[in-house]
Each structure stands twice: as structure tokens, then as C-alpha cells.
Amino acid sequence: MASRKIRSLSGRAYRARRIAATFGRVYLGIKANQLLDRVGDRTGNQARWRRFHQTSAESIFAAAIELRGLILKGCQFMGARSDLLPPEYVEVLSRLQDRVPPRPFSEIRAVVEHELQMPLEKAFADFSREPLASASLAQVHEAHLPDGRRVAVKVQYPEIRELVASDLSNLGALFRAIRLFERDFDLVPLIDEFREQLPRELDFYKEAMNSERIAEFFQHREDLCVPNIHWEFTTSRVLVSDFVDGIKISDIRELEAAEIEPKKVMQSLLEAYCEQILVHGFFHADPHPGNLLVLRPSPGCEIPRIVFLDFGLSKQLPDSFRQSTVEFAAALLQGKAEEMGKALVRIGFETRGNSQQSLHAISVILLDVAKRLREQTYLDPEVVREAGADLPRLIRENPIIRVPSHLVLVGRVMGLLSGLGHTLDVKLDMLRTILPYASGVSPRPGIERART
């Protein structure tokens, strides 16, 4: 026991050093390149930045593959942000969404047999040795039940709980250190949210219940679906559901080959999140491309169907969230920055000294961003750069001391959807889609308002 504890402490120390060294080098590299920008010419600077981004992305990718756990999960999120990150990061880190090197089959067999308390051959008629997908917390294998039904078996990695706990501690320390040098770059609330959410994500029973709850939301829609759960073979570390064969939602070539319009897909996806967040107050919070499939059209059905996978990261919003959002949306429509600031306070934002000056100024920036969003589902890098230059200054002048934790995940979802819209190159009137849901007028029939 003592030697195992020593190895565990040694392993945690190594992970801490690896994380700090990887992200520390990237941070220092950014600062160094910013200084070099002052003396170099534009063409040379751009080439230098591209080389730096490529090298940094490969370095982060290598650390994520080696360490896995929470680091890998965070890098998957980064790889979906094609609207914000340089293309070098997106190209490299997007490989983490469903192409993570798998664990040995012997480890997977051991977990399944321990959880189901029976030999693998008794539980399943057949079980593929090679996984369909490998991710941050688990990997998925194709199998057939004894009665012949085709299923997907999600198996949690044996040591993942310890790795996640270690990573939360390491990243918390790293982000607190960064905050000392960069007052306008506070990621500690993100760690706090992960610390609350990840234990739920590691319980596959809860994930299965989340899956069925959201499936009920979509019962009235033909364009959205969720695989059925097989409860008799599901435990806290093994989840068995119907097998679904579809196209990865970000695979433009496959969508076009199947004659599926990306615009229709993006419209359905955006409406799905409006329903979840603004109608029901409970939502699938991990819509990276590896968790979303599009079914190939069947004879007589031209509607593209989106399949939602992996419900471990789901979120229940406070009852007051929708009403406060309605107030914010109404003020946004009317262009009233002061009322928007008041609505942000009711949503849960806090500023130093309870001053609304910073929130009012931020609302002005959001109004400008909203105008540009009217004809696209994603934020152009130019818009992000402009907002990114103004927001830190405003926060520094009158710091926001609290961002509601649930908005961290809402923001994450909006960021992932923005990145996907950019990848698919789809232009929609995003606000026109969102505002009816926010104001309580459902554009789709059959939706029952979950809250008032």
C-alpha cells in the first residue's frame, strides 16, 4: 500500500510538472512573439506565428495523449473552436475528438467483466476488440447482445477518476498562478465548474438518465434523436446503448456525398439547443463534433436527423435563468444597454462595489456583436479580436468578480456551436432563431414549456 501511494504521489507530481511545462512554454512563447511583432515586418511576423502555433499545437497534443484525463478533455474543446483559435491548433487538436490511441483490450475486458459480474462472452454474443472511438474518459466498442441487437458499449478507463482528481488540482494551481500575472485572464471559475460536474460525468448511471431525459424533449421532432439505453447491461462504469451508424457532423465531404445540406443540419442543431436551454432548462453540454452524428437520408425522408451522443456532461439551469434571459433578450432587441446590464445582474453577474458601469459597457459591446451575428452562426475572428481588446480593459477598470457557474457551460456550448458553424461555413440568422425561444414563443409545435 505504501509503495502504491508513493507511485501515486510521484505520478501526480509528474503530471503537474508536465502540465505546467507544456502550457508555460506556450504562454511564454506568446509573450515573446508579441515582443518580436514590434520589430519584424508583417509577412515575417505572420510566418513566425504560424510556425509557433504549429509547434505549440503539437506540443499540447502530445501532452494530452500522454496524460489523458481532464487535459485531454480540455484539448478536445480547444480543437472544436475553429472560430477563435488559429487553424494550426484546430487541425492538430481536432484529432483528439475521436482518434485518441485506444487502451489495450485486456483493460477494457477487465472493466466490463468486473462491472457486469460475468464473462464477456456471456454478456455479449460478440464484442469488437478494436474500439469505434477513444476519448478522454472512456472508449466505445461495437457489440451484439445475445438476442442479436447491435449495441455500442462505452467503457470507462480504470484509473480515470484518480487522473481527473489530480488534473483538477494541478490546473487549479496553474490557473491561480497565471491570475497573478494576468489579471484579465481568470480561468479559475472553469475549474470550479469542472470540479462540480466531472463526478457526475464519471457516473454512467447518471449519463444514461440524462440521455433518456433529453430524448423525451425531442419526441415531437423528426430531426433529432437519442440512442436507446439498455439498462440491464449498464452500470456506473459501463453504458450500453443502441448502435447508430451516422456521419460525423463536421465531415463536410460526407454530408455533401449523402446530399445533406449543412445549413439544415445547423438550423436543427441550433433549435435543439434553444429548446434544451430556454424551454426545458436542462441541456447536453458537450456538443463537440465527436458527439454529434447525422443519419444518412432514408427512402421517403429528406429531413436530416441529428443523433446526440455522450450525455455525461449535462446541466440543470436555475429556475430563474429563463426569465432573466427573456429580460436580457428584450433589452437586446430594443438596444437598451443599461437594461441589459441590469438583466446580467439578475442572471447572477457581480461586479466589484456592486457597480453596473462595467456591465453596461460590456452590454454595449454585446449589442455590436449581436448585430454581426444576425447573418451568421459563428463569430468572425475580427469580431472576437475587437471584443477581446475591449473586454479586458473594461474588466480591469471595474472587475467582474463573479460569473455564474452555469454560464460557464452555456458559454462552452455556444462556443462549440460557433466553431461548428464556422467549420460548416453556414450562415443563418442566429438571433432570429434564438429570440422566439427566449421570449416564450416556440416556433415548433408540440413543445411544452417546462418552466414559467
Neighbours of 319 (CB within 10 A): 11
- The pLDDT tens digits for 196-207 are 777 778 899 999
pLDDT value of position 251? 93
For residue 434 the three cell numbers come to: 434564438
Catalytic residue among 83, 98, 286, 310: 286
- Which of 176, 191, 184 lies closest to 388, judged by CA? 184
Q: Catalytic site residue 286?
A: yes
Q: How far is CA 417 from the centre of its chain?
A: 9
> CA 101 to CA 90: how far, in whole Å?
18
Radius of gyration for the chain, computed over Cα atoms and rounded to the nearest angstrom? 23
Higher pLDDT: 87 or 356? It is: 87
> CA 37 to CA 2: how far, in whole Å?
52
CA torsion angle for 332, 334, 335, 338 (degrees, to 10)?
Answer: -80
- For residue 294, pLDDT beyond 80: yes
For residue 277 the three cell numbers come to: 436551454
Q: What is the residue whose three cell numbers read 458499449?
A: 153
- For residue 24, pLDDT beyond 80: yes
> CA 15 to CA 64: how far, in whole Å?
11
- The pLDDT tens digits for 332-388 are 767 777 787 777 777 777 666 666 666 666 677 666 666 665 556 665 655 555 555
- Which of 312, 304, 375, 367 lies closest to 341, judged by CA? 367
- The pLDDT tens digits for 207-231 are 999 999 999 999 989 999 999 999 9
